[in-house]
Amino acid sequence: MGWLPLAAIAPELWDDATWHELTARVVGLAREAGALAVLPMALTYRAAVDMHAGEFGAAAGLIEEANAITAATGSASLEYISMILAAWRGEETRALELIKTLVRYATARGGGRVLGLAWYATAVLHNGLGGYEAALVGARRASEYEDLGFFGWSLAELVEARTRSGASDEASAALRQLSKRTRAAGSEWALGIQARSRALLSDGPAADTLYREAIDRLGRSRIAVHLARAHLVYGEWLRREQRRAEAREHLRAARGVLPAQGVLQARHQLPPAAPAPPGAGATRTAHRLRPSPGTASS
């Protein structure tokens, strides 16, 4: 199964198309060969691809299959992928339980990569739910591990957490580190993440342009979760700029992929949209949002 290491390298290069192709090939080959020692890992790699594509149900199915195989063969369970999926879904209780379990396991056994993934999941979860101080702790810890495949992702979470926590100088330093990697990769995924991260540190027309660039680039990639996050942070920015009709459009797009992050965990609500002209149809429903920085929680 020489394709397996290549499937692990593709996300490090921000190459979502190759990541998609290689993981599909690895799973297919493992199934054909009946390679039960390899298939669970291949399934989790593919689950990560589906998860980033916003196909959470498909990812969960692959994880369930991998867990069934490891249970039947007595192999070690691969719970780290379940943890990351729960984080992206905004399933706070489940994600935190898995994070706690894996941090304890990795600390006891010296599993640095698993520990890094646990801190990355912490950052994803809390950035999504608006708990930026907790996200900052997770992102800082995750960025201590320059592990193959997710170090750059951790830097992106670090930029957002630092920006939202008011640590703009630290955010700028993280952005410089991230940009070295994304510029070298040059993919739409990489450059979309770079544009979104730069937008978080920008104001006025520059921020507007960068948010739009991020959405455009990520929209041409397979990485739906980060496209949704770009819509989410742009929608929040538009809300602060009092551009509420535009904000609703982007928040609705975010909710389509990340309902828990964009809506269900929110604590504030946009005022209702303006009434539609006669015959134009029903007024769009206002969306619940996570609070903007500096806004008091209810």
Q: What is the pLDDT of residues 248-283, one digit of tens each?
A: 999 999 988 887 654 434 434 443 333 333 333 332
Q: Read off the pLDDT of residues 173-184 as tens digits, 9 standing for 90 and up.
A: 999 999 999 999
Helices (H), 258-293: 259
Going by C-alpha positions, the residue among 63, 76, 125, 68 that lies closest to residue 100 is 125
The whole-angstrom separation of Cα 285 and Cα 183 is: 40
Q: What is the mean pLDDT of residues 281-288?
A: 28
The whole-angstrom separation of Cα 113 and Cα 127 is: 21
pLDDT of residue 290: 43
The whole-angstrom separation of Cα 118 and Cα 66 is: 19
Whether the pLDDT of residue 78 is over 50: the answer is yes
Lowest mean per-residue pLDDT among 105-119, 134-148, 207-221, 245-259: 105-119
pTM for the predicted model, two decimal places: 0.85
Whether the pLDDT of residue 196 is over 80: the answer is yes
pLDDT of residue 148: 67
Arithmetic mean of pLDDT over the chain: 86
Q: Read off the pLDDT of residues 159-169 as tens digits, 9 standing for 90 and up.
A: 999 999 988 88
pLDDT of residue 208: 98
SS3 content of the chain, % helix, strand, coil (to 5): 75, 0, 25
Whether the pLDDT of residue 146 is over 80: the answer is no
Domain residue extents for the chain: 1-77, 90-177, 186-266
Whether the pLDDT of residue 296 is over 60: the answer is no
The whole-angstrom separation of Cα 53 and Cα 190 is: 15
